[in-house]
Each structure stands twice: as C-alpha cells, then as structure tokens.
Chain A
Amino acid sequence: MHQWIAAIAVLALWCGYLVWFALVLRRRLRAAQVPVRPVRPVRERIGALGLDMFLVPVLLGLAGLYGAEWTFPGLFMTGAALAIWTFAPRHVTSKVLPLALVGVGFYGFAVIRAYARGTSWLIRYGVATNGDGSAYPHFVLLQAYLLIAGGLWLLWRRLAPGSLASRLLTMPGSAPGQSRRPRWGLLLLPVVGMVIEMLGWTLWLDTPWWTADFTVAVGLIALVLVFRAPAVAADLALAGMLLLGLYGVALAVWWPVHVPLPSPYTADVRFGTVWVASRVAALLAGVEGLALLSLGLWLLPRAIDDRTRALLRSAADAELAGRVVRLTRTRADAVEGAEAELRRLERDLHDGAQARLVALGMSLRAAERLIPTNPAAASALVAEARESSLKVLTELRDLVRGICPPVLAERGLADAVRALVLDTPLRTDVDIDLPGRPDLPVESACYFAVAEVLANAVKHAAARQAQVRIRHESGRLRITVIDDGAGGADPRRGSGLLGLERRLATFDGVLAVNSPLGGPTIVAIEVPCALSSVKTSSC
C-alpha cells in the first residue's frame, strides 16, 4: 500500500515538473519574439531561448540513464535544475549547463575507476553499461571526454568579451584585440609528457590497454591548448614546472620513504629521465627537479608581470577610451549648446531691443519735427516713445534672466532656487543645505535644470506640489526634484530633459528620471564639484 502511495506521489511530482517546464518554456518563447525567417530558424530560436533551456532535459536524461528517476536524489536534482532554470538570471543559468556537462564528464573517470576495482554494482554511464565487457571503459572514457570538451567549449563561448575571465584567458597584447603568445607556452608539451610518464598509466586504470585513451586525450588537449589558447598553455606549463620541480626535490630529500601520489598503484616512480629506484637515481631526480623549479621560478615573475600588466592596462585602457569618447561627445555638445545660445541671443537682440530702439529713435525724430507746428501730436509721440522704451526694458530684462538670473549671480544657487520657487505656481517645499557656492557654470547648469524640471511639472504633468532638495555630499552636488504630477516623463522623448542631460554631462553630471505613468516624477541630478566659501561673484 505504502509503495503505491509513494509511486503515485513520485509520478505526480514528475507530472508537475513537466507542466512547470512547459509553462516556463512557453513564457520564454513568447517573450523572445523570435522573428520568423527562412535562414537558420532553428538556430535562431535556440539562440533566443538561451542555451540554458537544455539544462533541464540534459539533467532529466542523465537521471533516467542512471536509473535515478525514481529515487529521491534524482527527483531533487531535477527539481533543483528546474528552479535554477526558472529563477536564476540568464547569464548564470547559461553557465550552469556547461559546468554540469564538465562535472558529468569527470564523473565518468570515477565510474571507470570503480569498474577497474571490480565493483559488483550495475553502473550505467551514458550509452555504456558495465555489462558491456572489456569495451566498456572505452565507451565511458569517450563519452567523458566528449562531455568535458563540449562543456568547456560552451563555457568558453559564454564568456563575455572584456570580462575578467576572458581577459585572464586571452592575455591581450599592446593593442586591444591582439593577443600575444608567450613563448614558454610550448613547454606545456614536455611537462604533460612528464606527467603522463609519471602517472598516466597507473592513475586511472590497471591495464596498459586503456592508458592509450588517456595519453592520447591528454596529449591532444595539450596540443589544442598550446595552439588555440597559448596564454592558458603558458600558465599551465609554469604551474606544472613548479609542481614537478617541487616533487623532484621532495623525491631526492625523502627517498626511500615513499612520496605518496594520488594513486594507490604507485610502486615506484619514473621522473623525467630517471627511474627512481635507488638513492643515486633519487638524487638525479632532485637535480632535475631543481632545474625545473629554477626555470619555473625564473619565468614566474615574467608571467605574473605580463599578466598583471595586461590586466591592469586593459582595464585602464578601456576606462580611458570610454572617458575620451565621453569627453569628445560632451565637448561637442557644450560647443554646440553655447553656439545655439549665442545665436538665440543675437536673434533676440536683433529682432527685439535693436528694432525697438530704431523705432524709438524714429518716433523721437518725428516728435522733434512736430514740436513747432503741432505740440499736441508731438507730446503724444513722446508718450508713445516712453511706452516703447518700457517695452525694450522688459524685453532686455527677460533676456538677462534667460542668460543668468540676477539672483543667481548675486546670491548663488540656494537663493536663486528659492526665488525661482516663489515665482512658480506650485506649492513647493524647499530643503537646501549648501555650506558654500559651486562654480558659476555648475550653479547655472543646475539652476536651469531645476527651472526646467519645475516648468515641466507645471506645464506637462499638471502638478500641484513639488519638493526640491539640494545637498553637497562626498564631493557631489545632489539635487532631487519630486512632483505629484501625472508622470510619464521620458528623457529620450522630451528634448528639454535631453538638453539638460547634455548640459550637465559637460560637468560629468548625470540626470536620472523616474516617472511612472500616474506619477510621481522624481528627477535626480548629481554633479561632481567642490564648493567655495566665496559669497558673491558676478555673472
């Protein structure tokens, strides 16, 4: 009875897993919006879904192959895989699959070892079972190597260009994208040779028959590394030399006390050119070890130097390059902005004040002529001229306010913003705490930014209340403007906010807008600047 209940529960769990998998997959397919094109549609679809999609099926398949599908570990493993696939970020899950493949590959070695020791268990590994007889280890090894190679290849493909791991593995040269080949990468081949000679034929297996697989595979991997990933080969060669050198020295010092290897099959050791069977041979091994060790130690600073320099340089280079790009852009924006501003001023003066003064002069001249003959008309003209001069003054006042508001020049940012708030038809709560004044250009940019944001709040968002907060914290001027308007402000659409962003960028300032539909709108401005205690300055 209990067995039945357990079986039904497990079956239900599996059904749940299947439904879960199908639901997430459907959601992802919809979100991916894969374009239907005749060229390579399958590949594109898989690419859009992400490689991690295979994580669950692969683990499921493995569980099935090992006969674990009805056991607690199998169920747990599959559930965990589903959870990771569903909830973990994509860049994490896309690395879990390759790592899982590599792990399963290494598990293959353990399987062979168990077989070699003559286990009575029925062990399945992929397509091989240990009932298959003497060919079994070959199948297992083949699968293990394929899984490891595939996993590593996928992992390599998943490395983002420019990430720490990719920089560690590729070792960029002087120019970006150009990789340098450390010459001692070739040393990996003799090092691997020594390692194979030392433990290859005894490490995993008893019979020399199978060592061929291991030797060939390790040799091939070494060759691939030397020619495809010279930086990795160089590092491995260096590490190998140091470890082998230490081992050689240890042999000489402790012989005949056996220096244990990670294998129970070691009776005696071959080290490089010597078979360590006597005191003299052990000493010779020590000499060899010393030579290897000194060569490794000689190479070590060079490798570390090169590696750190490459790492540091590439980081600094990328930062500098980014800075140059940013400066070029913001400088172009600043020049363009200043130019546009001057043009606007020229146009305003030309069409406004200048034209009015010309008209004024003409009115006065006409009045002058009329005085003897028609004093009443002349007096009317003069009155008109006076009115006109008032208009010129008003226009000039507005113009000046647009260039640099007088309060800003006289009192600085804090009072200028307070004055601005008084002129705005918003109930505004002002909270400003500035122990000094920033540079005038920064002050001006910030003032106009606040003015524009408040104007937007009134004009576009129909806000009733607002809040302005200005602080200077850790070398940065921080301004926050919050309004209770309709929201929906987007710097990418409104040219006003974009202009502000550009103007602030000239000072390495940033502007962030959070404005969900329905409000509230929060605009945060941050500009790195120092404060001076100078109280006044002129515009």
Chain B
Amino acid sequence: MRVVIGEDLFLLREGLVRLLQAHDLEIVAAVGTGPELLDALLTQHPDVAIIDVRLPPSFSDEGLRVALEARRRIPGLPVLVLSQYVEQLYARELLSDQAGGVGYLLKDRVFSDEAFVEALRTVAAGGTVLDPEVIAKLLHRRAGDEPITTLSPREREVLELMAQGRSNGAIAQRLFVSEKAISKHSTAIFIKLGLEPSDDDNRRVLAVLAYLNS
C-alpha cells in the first residue's frame, strides 16, 4: 500500500515513517509543507495519505485545506487527517462530499500502532474513521434529542463504535459478544433512528454520521 505523509514536525514524521514501514507499508513521500504535500498527492496518487491539519507556511489549517483540495481534484482520494485536537466543524467539512475514504484522528491515536494501522487500512479501503472524541461530541450535542434517548445503553455503545467507523466484526470483538448480536443491535438502532438499514459497512457509517451531523 502506497502512503504519502504530510507532517511538519521532523520527529513525528520520522516516527510515522518507521511505524508504517514496520507494518510493511510503502512510503512514497514524506513532506513537511502544504504546497509540497499537494504536489505529492497529485503526482504520486497514493492509496492513502496521512495529513497533519496544521502545516507551514501559514501554520493554520493548511493541511486540512490541502486534503480537501486534493479530494476535489481526485474524488475519493483516501486521506487520514491527524491533529492535536479534533473539531466537529472540520469533520463535517471532510465528510461533506459523502465519498468515504476519510479518517480524522487525534495524534495520540498513533500510540497504539495496531489500531492506527487498522484505521489507515479502513480509510484506504474507502471506509470512514472518526476519532472517538468527535463521536462523543456529536452524541453529547444530540444527547437530549428524542430518538437518541430511546436507545438502550448497549445500543448507544454500539452506535458510538459504529460511528467511529468500526465493522460489526470489530464491534463484536470489542464488546465481547457475537457478531450476530451486534447485527441485531444495529438493526434496532436503525429502526429507532428511522434510517434505511444497510449491510454495507461504509454506507452504514455514513448514514449514522449524516444523522448525527444533521
């Protein structure tokens, strides 16, 4: 799998390169500025890109804007955006094209390398991965809403994991129950929220996020 990395802090960039190489991923470019990153994305056309939100030269949301621009030019280009903090506003912007292949995680998540690489692979495969903190914020905002309050605690847990972009299998593993039970929960959730049920993992995530974001 070919990866482009856009991260301005040298230590973190090298750390990411080492981590990904240890997991047999091919790093085709590791750059430190916005313009360089856009150039690398457009010429290399990687399977997935890891992008820091704040990049030089402006040190504002340069990385995010490069990611959006690259996805505008190459629709569906998988990007995993990393940041020291997560904002619902930025998550919305990343998800707005409904094309999938989007990840938005706190930099802290790099600490557990297996989960991180797993997330990277999900994004590369066109899936959607959102940081638990974003999901927590989304749910917090909708906490008082009518359909959400009708969910059982276990269903809420499943909804949260589903929104983070996990498959039924991963959720089952995490909650120590059978995949069939999770499938039952997810059907119940979709009925309660009034959403169209779907077997496709990615489409399911997008539906849930669209619901929470509305």
Contacts and interface: CB of A to CB of B under 8 A. Distances in A.
Interface of A: 386, 389-390, 393-394, 397, 400-401, 406-407, 409-411, 415, 418-419, 422-425, 464, 536-538
Nearest to B64: A410
A418 B108 contact: no
B177 interface: no
B84 A397 contact: yes
B194 interface: no
A423 B135 CA distance: 11
A293 to B, nearest CB: 76
Nearest to B140: A425
The 9 nearest A-B residue pairs measured at CB? A536-B60, A419-B89, A410-B60, A422-B88, A410-B61, A536-B58, A419-B87, A393-B108, A538-B59
A353 B108 CA distance: 15
Contacts of A401: 85
Nearest to A422: B88
A121 B124 CA distance: 113
B51 to A, nearest CB: 14
A114 to B, nearest CB: 84
Nearest to A423: B137
Contacts of B60: 409-411, 536-538
B176 interface: no
A276 B113 CA distance: 119
A422 B141 contact: yes
Given A397-B84, A406-B87, A425-B144, 16 more contacts: A386-B111, A393-B84, A393-B107, A400-B85, A406-B83, A406-B84, A410-B54, A410-B60, A415-B89, A418-B89, A422-B89, A422-B92, A425-B141, A536-B58, A536-B60, A538-B59
B25 interface: no
Contacts of A415: 89
Interface of B: 53-54, 58-61, 83-85, 87-90, 92, 107-108, 111, 137, 140-141, 143-144
The SS class assigned to the A binding surface is helix
A363 to B, nearest CB: 15
A314 B157 CA distance: 71
B53 to A, nearest CB: 8
Contacts of A409: 60
A536 B57 CA distance: 11
A424 B85 contact: no
20 contacts: A386-B111, A400-B84, A406-B54, A406-B87, A409-B60, A410-B54, A418-B89, A419-B87, A422-B88, A422-B89, A422-B92, A423-B140, A424-B141, A425-B141, A425-B143, A536-B58, A536-B60, A537-B60, A538-B59, A538-B60
Contacts of B143: 425
A220 B193 CA distance: 94
A418 B87 CA distance: 10
Contacts of A407: 87, 89-90
A409 B60 CA distance: 7
Contact of B88 (A406, A410, A423, A538): A423
A425 B84 CA distance: 23
A213 B190 CA distance: 104
Nearest to B138: A422
B54 to A, nearest CB: 7
Contacts of A423: 88, 137, 140-141
Contacts of B140: 423, 425
A537 B140 CA distance: 31
Contacts of A425: 140-141, 143-144
A117 to B, nearest CB: 89
Nearest to B213: A422
Among A397, A410, A419, A423: residue with most chain B CB under 10 A: A410
Nearest to A398: B85
A419 B88 contact: yes
Contacts of B88: 419, 422-423
B85 A397 contact: yes
A411 B60 CA distance: 7
B111 A411 contact: no
A418 B84 CA distance: 19
B144 to A, nearest CB: 6
B137 A422 contact: yes
A386 B115 CA distance: 15
A54 B143 CA distance: 65
Contacts of B108: 390, 393-394
Nearest to B58: A536
Contacts of B137: 422-423
Contacts of A410: 53-54, 60-61
Kindly name the residue among B88, B92, B107, B140 whose own CB sees the greatest number of chain A CB atoms within 10 A: B88
Contacts of A394: 108
Contacts of A537: 60
A144 B90 CA distance: 83
Contacts of A400: 84-85
Contacts of B83: 406
A411 B83 CA distance: 15
Contacts of B89: 407, 415, 418-419, 422
Contacts of B107: 393
B110 to A, nearest CB: 11
A389 B141 contact: no
Chain A CB count within 10 A is highest, among B58, B61, B87, B90, for B87
Nearest to B142: A425
Nearest to A538: B59
A210 B92 CA distance: 96
Contacts of A389: 111
